[in-house]
Amino acid sequence: MKIKFKKYESGGNDFVLIDDRENIYDLTSDIIKKICNRNFGVGSDGLIILKKSSIADIKMFYYNSDGQPSTLCGNGTRCLFSFSISIGIIGKIAKIETSEGIYTATISNRNLVSLKMKNIDNVILFDNKAYLNSGSPHHVEMIKDLNKISVNKMASSIRFSSRYSPNGTNVNFFNKISDKKFEIRTYERGVEDETLSCGTGATAVAIAVHAMGLTTESEIIIQTRGGELFISFEASETGYKNIYLEGPTNFVFKGEY
């Protein structure tokens, strides 16, 4: 069976998107893994299946490139929003059902796609590092010169460490450019590689640097390898709320697999 798809990206974080509201396709983990393979398939960091939802405007099933279902993907959710607009099933604001609950996406004043994230009440600080869940789990660590490190080697040892056993974690290394701007490099579990951008990773870093006392700003620009993401939030004694992940999404191409 031919599988119709569109490919989108946000900051180089790329996704294959499939409209399966009519339950046409039977996509096994092996098929998803092959589609995501950059040598033998379409090539992407993840695959997203659009389904009908009984509790939201649309429903999202997200899979990493290893073919396994995963937790929230911030960039992928924003790409699904743009994809759904392109096929005419939603307007400029929508509720999206995900494995981590219902998220609201909209078009921002910058004409970018904005996703309201869940509140974050718990940021664990240790040894000048941080751990938090921004929809997906993230280890956050400051590295002065991001250009001189082997991200895959350093991050994989953290991702598979006993501290984060058995499920592992995503890993983010960051450096401070200014109080307003931080640069990051992210290693994603399930992809098992560095990705050019990660929405939940950018969110995690923005919250972590505030919790670590490295900034007092309430909107942070995160410079990823693939472009800029904007994270805004409200901080209080009990945690962080009204968190928004904002950035561009771009249609790349469409085809049949």
- Partners of 18 in beta bridges: 49
Rg (CA), the chain: 17
Considering 32, 42, 47, 73, which one is annotated as catalytic?
73
Question: Does residue 79 have an active-site annotation?
Answer: no
Backbone torsions φ then ψ of 180, nearest 5 degrees: -95, -20
- Residues 48, 198, 220, 222: which is the catalytic one? 198
**CB atoms < 10 A from the CB of 137, how many?**
19
CA dist 41 and 44 (Å) reads 9
CA nearest neighbour of 233 among 199, 205, 206: 206
Q: Tell me the HSE value of 184 on the side-chain side, using a 13 A CA sphere.
A: 37
Q: How far apart are CA 81 and CA 237, in angstroms?
A: 33
DSSP for residue 145: -
Residues designated catalytic = 73, 198
